Each structure stands twice: as structure tokens, then as C-alpha cells.
Amino acid sequence: MDAARLSATLDAAVAAGLAGVVASVTVDGDTVYEGSAGVRTIGDPTPMTHDTVFAIYSMTKAVTGAAAMQLVERDQLSLDGPAADVLPALRDPQVLEGFDPHDRPVLRPATTPVTLRHLLTHTSGYVYGGLWNGPVAAYADAAGVPSLFTLKKAALQVPLAFDPGTRWEYGTGIDWAGLLVEEVSGTTLGRYCAEHLFEPLGMRDTGFGPTPSMAERLASIHVPTPDGLAPFALPAPEAPEFEMGGGGLLSTVGDYQRFANAILHGGELDGVRVLAADTVAQMSRNAIGSVRVAPLATVNPALTLDTDFYPGQPCTWGLSFLINEEATPQGRPAGSLAWAGLANTYHWIDPVNRVSGVWASQLFPFFHPYAIDGFRSFETEVYASL
């Protein structure tokens, strides 16, 4: 692996506008590159380092998916049975068909029940109204539904955008999956993950809230302004009612690599097994049939730009990863697993070359050129070096 060329892409990303970035690559579980550039917070000289802690937002989803699949293995959750059998709040969902001439929502019963498979694959109809779905956002505003960032359970109580299983649209399904994990395990999602994933895998700097040590190493999220980058923080929830299985984790690049490598190695890392190999194989293949991943058009450009990872290329979804069905322009082969987080963190798992990569910055909005261009340059150099 050409470390100098990889580090040059990190330096270029900072020069282009990021405050800082940390990245790593492993091949067959062995670390072949670790690098960082820039600072944790604009105006503070503390550099980015490999133990910097990031808000990884939706990279949480794969972790929650793994927790849910552990419970499927134990027959405590059903992948395809009605999720409402475990969580009554999911019973009798309504689909938002639109609004009448008086701007009143037009609702109808969903044609099929919501399942865990739907929730893990973004085919449930539960979408991110505040980010990518205007009609559901309008419904939430009119009904006084709190923002998801308040961590109020009422924030999840919105109608479906479509019947379960009929479409793919990114959303809050995995937050519901986290509540299913809590319901059957009898503990919080954070405690469950700590006991069954983080501690077994040696992920010492991962959790839904920072330890004192993690807080000392936390990177700031930034936003671009006319005068350059400025630190930005979402308001802290006043009385959180759940831990966000779809986006609540803090972690380091090194910790997330350990999780990714456990998936790459069929559910096992350093002799510790957290998932059966057959389960990981199931998680790593198409779980949505003929449905395909669609581009996302923003309704909130302060937090996310329009998002399409591979324009013109078909992608499917596993449990729960993006799966590219063709080789990507950066060199990633078909059948690889990947996803990202709202503050511009990215990861991928390539079972063909046995490669895993994690690239982390802290910037809103998501998919900003400062970040996605830097990540793509980094990945291109990884594959050029193999």
C-alpha cells in the first residue's frame, strides 16, 4: 500500500476545505495504512489522530443490524414475521397518500405488515422526512411531530411513505429495529451492543454516549460559511427516550475497522465469534429482491445534499449495507458492502480483495464535495495500490 499517496489524498481533502480527516485500510484483517490530516476543531491546534472520536451517525445502522441479527439467530426476533408481534407500536401502520385541498393528510392502511427485514433494508416505508422526503416532512410539521434529534419516541410516529416491501427509501427503519432489540433483550440498545458486540470485538471507544476519555478526543462537526468552516453542534436532547439505532453512535476509525473486519471474516475476529458465518452471508447479499436503491433528493440542504453514490449504476441493499452490483469508478468490485454517516464518515467492506476501509471527517451537510470527493480520491488510491 502506497502510504505516501494515500496520505496525500488526506492532505488534499484538508486543503480543499475539511478541518480534518482520519482514515485506515486493512487487508485480510491486517492494518496496511493509518493516516490523519488537519485538526479536530477549527481554531484549536489539536491534530486529528487515529484515536479521535467521531459522531458516526448512520454507520450505526450496520451495528444495530448486527445486534438484531444476533437475536434472529437465537429465535428471539423473526426476520419476516410481523414486527408488531414484538413491538405493538408498529401495528396497523398508515400510508400517507398525499394531502387534500385543505392540506389535510390523506391516509390509508398499509397493505402488508412491517417486518424486521423491511426495517433493516429501508423498504418499510418509514423515511427521513426531515432530510429527504417532503410530504412526510410536511405531515410531521403539521402534526407537531418532534425532530428525530430530540430522541423522543413520538419522533418515530409518522405514517409510511409507501407500502412495506414495494420501494426503497432511506429512513428510520433501523431506529425501530433498535427498539425491537431493546424489547426482546430487556435492556437498552447501548448496553446490549456493549455486551454482545463492543466488548467481544475490543471496541473500547464506541458507545451512544462518550466516556470521559472519549469526550477528550471528540472531533467537532463543522459547517461551511462565507468566512470558512465554523464549528457546529446540534442541540442536545433534553430528555432522551431511546438510543438512536439508526445514527446515535460515537466511535473511532480503529474501532469501526474492528467491526468491519468481523463482518469481513464471517462474524469472527481474533478468535471471538459474534455472528454465525451463515448469518453474515445472509446480511451480505441482496435482501430486497427486485427493488433497487434510489437517489435521494434533499429537503434540508443544511444537513444533506442530494445523494447518489454511483449515478447510473444499480445498487441493492443487504442487512444492512449498500451493495454495489457493478465495479465502481474507484475500483471497488461488485458485491462490496458500504455505507456512511450524516457528518461525512464512510466505510466499505470488499470481500473479493479482503479489503476494509474507513474514512472519517465531521462536516455538515452530508455528501458535501469537500468530503465525498476526498473519500473517493482516497479509495481510488487504495485500489491503485493493491
Q: Can you list the positions of beta strands (E) in 193-274?
A: 221-225, 228-232, 250-251, 268-269, 272-273
For residue 238, what pLDDT is reported? Answer: 85
Task: Judge contact between 220 and 42, C-beta under 8 A.
Answer: yes
Q: Render pLDDT for 249-262 as a digit per residue (tens, 0 to 9).
A: 999 999 999 999 99
CB neighbours (10 Å) of residue 289? 10
The pLDDT value recorded for residue 309 is 96
Characterize 33-50 residue by residue with b for buried, 16 or more Cβ atoms within 10 angstroms of its Cβ, and e for exposed. bbbbbbbbbeeeeeebee
- What is the model's pLDDT at position 235? 82
- Three-class secondary structure of residue 377 per DSSP: helix
- Which pLDDT score is estimated for 233? 85
Rounded Cα distance, 344 and 88, in Å:
34
Bigger pLDDT: 238 or 144? 144
Predicted local distance difference test score (pLDDT) of residue 236: 83
Q: Which residues are catalytic?
A: 58, 61, 170
Q: Smallest Cα–Cα separation from 259: which of 29, 35, 23?
A: 29
- Determine the straight-line distance between the first and last CA of the chain, rounded to whole angstroms: 6
| Amino acid at site 169 | E
Give per-residue pLDDT as tens, 58-109. 999 999 999 999 999 999 999 999 999 999 999 999 999 999 999 999 999 9
Q: What is the pLDDT of residue 261?
A: 98
Per-residue pLDDT for 360 more than 90?
yes
CB atoms within 10 A of CB 378: 26
User: What CA–CA distance (Å, rounded) separates 121 from 94?
Assistant: 19
Q: How many CB atoms lie within 10 A of CB 144?
A: 7
> SS3 of 97, please?
strand
Is the separation of the CB atoms in 228 and 15 below 8 Å? no
Q: What is the mean pLDDT of residues 5-28?
A: 98
Contact 255, 217 (CB under 8 A): no
Q: How confident is the model at residue 239 (pLDDT cuts 50, 70, 90)?
A: confident
Q: What is the DSSP string of 283-322?
A: HTS--STT-----B--S-TTTB--B-SSTTS-EEE-SS-E
Q: Give the Cα-Cα-Cα angle 314, 315, 317 (nearest 5 degrees).
A: 155
